[in-house]
Amino acid sequence: MHKFFDRKKRAGFFTLVFLAGCIATGQAQHDNRFEISKQLEIFNALVKEMEMFYVDSLDIEKTIRRGIDAMLEGLDPYTEYIPEQDMDNLQMITTGEYGGIGAYIRKRPEGVVISEPIEGMPATLAGLRAGDRILAIDTINVEKASADKVSDLLKGVPNSRLKIKIMRPGEKKPRTVELTRKQIQVNQVTYYGVQDKDVGYIYLRGFTDKSAREVKEAFEDLRKNHQIRSLILDLRNNGGGVLEGAVQIVNLFVPRGKEVVSTKGKIPQWDRIYRTSAEPVDTLMPLVVLINGASASAAEIVSGALQDMDRAVLVGQRSYGKGLVQSTRDLPYDGRLKVTISKYYIPSGRCIQQIDYTHRKADGSVGNIPDSLTAVFYTSKGRPVRDGGGVRPEFEVAEPPVPTLLYYLLNDYVLFDFVTDYVQKHQTIAPIETFTLTDEDFEAFKTYAREKNFSYDRQSEKVLQNLKEVARFEGYLEESDSTTLKELENRLTPDIERDFERFREPIKKVMASEIVKRYYFERGELIQNLKDDEVLAKALEVATSPDLIDKTLHTNQLPH
């Protein structure tokens, strides 16, 4: 009898607790709705007052857009407002297609120039080249226009015609080119082929709704027509894209019904588990995946999932660490909000998000999650892996640092313009496989840079100047006793001739890549870059050694 009343009391207590929780939740929701209404009313009134009384006339659209962008930038870099006029960019990201002429453009001080025409597209077929400065599109002068404005004018309905007025470097008169826009489809498999006799190689540049099909077709061709015995999938510099595309690519190499990735966010109804839904193409062939610090998002899902399933060995550098998922929401006037709605978790249960956007410092900056706060998870065979810092490869091969000199040569367009001049003097070059940059070409580039009065700043020199000022202020530097600092200053002062020789090899490598791209497009650039590629060399060592792969996938150690 007493037990019965005790149960009734406990039930009544829990009912009261439940009701209290519901009341508290309802009150919190009511307070939140009130706060939203309050702040929107303040913002609306503020805009009206500014429009009426601010001393100068306001561009309301630009003013509010700045406010929107600032608000969203305070969350994370991936949440953004997409107005109606920018919807074509969203379509290109998800499908890899758009209507246009097929060329990348770049804004320079003198105007907008074509930086790279795409192979087989209208721009290339019409004879447009990298370096051509766009003066007018149809009847619209664009000499002082932004790159976004020029891009909007170049895009349009497939089969529509347009005229482009350009000024080619080295020529005195502009020329007009007539083109027909077409549906541009950017292939995500930039190049595939055979390395070291029987190792297949596929480079994937991004993830769209067609990328899995491209990888499958490339793999089947390599397996059927080239009898490959292992495969290298290169995801370096792959910034990601459509999540479903990543799941489909994993599905090519693992059995049906395997969990690839799950997403969890604020709204439980939106949480999803993505599993392989089709029969795989191959589950046994040795697989090596290449990643680096620019491999992000969907590229990390593929590499991380294949690692967690012990299906592939990873080579390269730690990936970027983007474990956030975005979705789009419809907005008034045909705009969209691309918003982060969840985090994703790969098969071991880990989330590889590296930057903590929820805990900002006093100055608004964000930091990486330190390794000491990451947790250990386990692959299907019990190998330990960590969360919170990107995907770590089993075999890490360091990338050589980019010299400051090379950064300025690229950023100041000195190298770009030299290659433009080189192309005008050389109608053809050797095939990609045999092309090499000569010492004469390098010396010609040095002469070109000097003639253009090229100069550059170095951070080490600026830091040294600050050090001297602080040392002098604190009394540690006597004017009569500064021999050490003077020697250091002499060593750190930029010397073009000396630095060109010091960094001859990395400069020559980038020069060769840029030259080859002008003749053989993006595919040729990639093939050229694979020459003397230390990461690829390590991957080939792994891919051709079944014993090494088997040992690696059974080693009970953290990747390093």
pLDDT tens, the chain, 560 aa long: 444 445 555 555 555 555 555 555 566 666 778 889 999 999 999 999 999 999 999 999 999 999 999 999 989 999 999 988 777 777 666 776 788 999 999 999 999 999 999 999 999 999 999 999 999 999 999 999 999 999 999 999 999 999 999 999 999 999 999 999 999 888 999 999 999 989 999 999 999 999 999 999 999 999 999 999 999 999 999 999 999 999 999 999 999 999 999 999 999 999 999 999 999 999 999 999 999 999 999 999 999 999 999 999 999 999 999 999 999 999 998 899 999 999 999 999 999 999 888 877 777 778 787 777 789 999 999 999 999 889 999 999 998 888 989 999 999 999 999 999 999 999 999 999 999 999 999 999 999 999 999 988 766 666 667 776 776 666 666 654 566 666 666 666 667 888 899 999 999 999 999 999 999 999 999 999 999 999 999 999 999 999 999 999 987 665 55
Distance between CA 342 and CA 284 in Å, rounded?
33
Both structure tokens of 484: 């050490």
Q: Which pLDDT score is estimated for 24?
A: 57
Helix (H, G, I), strand (E, B) or coil at 1: coil
* Dihedral of the alpha carbons of 435, 438, 444, 445, in degrees to the nearest 10: 60
CB 246 within 8 A of CB 207: yes
**Is 322 a residue of the active site?**
yes
CB distance 182 to 99 below 8 Å: yes
The predicted pLDDT at position 4 comes to 43
Q: Where are the domains of the chain?
A: 97-185, 189-399, 404-456+494-539
Residues 513, 517, 523: CA angle, nearest 5 degrees: 100
Output the pLDDT for position 84: 84
What is the pLDDT at residue 364?
A: 72
Give catalytic status of residue 338 as yes or no: no
Q: Is 297 annotated in the active site?
A: yes
Catalytic member of 297, 319, 342, 513:
297
Structure tokens given for 485: 């600092």
Tell me the three state secondary structure of residue 20.
Answer: helix
pLDDT of residue 163: 97
Output the pLDDT for position 20. Answer: 56
Strand ranges for 109-229 from DSSP E: 111-117, 133-137, 140-141, 161-167, 175-180, 182-185, 189-195, 199-204
Residue 30 three-state SS = helix
**Whole-number pLDDT of residue 555:** 75
Q: 3-class DSSP state for residue 543?
A: helix
- The separation between CA 119 and the C-alpha centre of its own chain, rounded to angstroms, equals 22
Multiple choice CATH, 189-399, 3.40.190.10, 3.90.226.10, 3.40.50.12780, 3.10.580.10: 3.90.226.10
Joined tokens for residue 149: 């404005």
Please pick, among 322, 348, 387, 538, the residue that the annotation labels catalytic: 322
| Candidate list 76, 234, 308, 387, residue with the active-site label | 308
What DSSP string describes 380-443? TTS-EEE-SS-PPPSEE-PPPPPPHHHHHHHHTTHHHHHHHHHHHH-S----TTT----HHHHH
**Residue pointed to by tokens 């040294």:** 464
Closest Cα to residue 378, out of 413, 337, 350?
Answer: 350
Written as six digits, the tokens of 49 are: 């007052």
97-185 topology per CATH: Pdz3 Domain (2.30.42)
